Amino acid sequence: MTSQSQGIQQLLQAEKRAKDKLEEAKKRKGKRLRQAKEEATAEIDHYRLQREKDFRNKQTNVMGSQGNLSAKIEEQTTETIRTLTSSYHKNMESMMKKLLSTICDINPEVHPNFRHAA
């Protein structure tokens, strides 16, 4: 009976060792999965940053040329406004005199179709 109980003890010990090894393997697997996930996340972040940098460079190249066009158009608009304002101030006085003289200087005349009743 001693050998039988000793065999059972050995089986129980072997089962316990197997269970411990299994638990340790599960822990290593979980740790490795977390590590792989962290590495993948870091790689994804690096890739995303690189792509965003490339996008910003391309956007700057495209928008830079549009920015130059925008600046030119703004400059032309400002120049046109300045010219029109100058012309307005230069001609305002003479136009006001013409308008006032047309409105205020009334010369009463008999209409050519008017007939005297005589």
The 10s digit of each residue's pLDDT in 33-48 is 999 999 999 999 999 9
Provide, rounded to the nearest whole percent, the portion of the chain with pLDDT above 90.
Answer: 60
Altogether, the residues listed in the chain come to a count of 118
Tokens of 1: 């009976």
- Mean pLDDT confidence for 67-73: 78
> Distance between CA atoms of 27 and 35, rounded to whole angstroms?
12
Q: Is the entire prediction scored with pTM above 0.85?
A: no
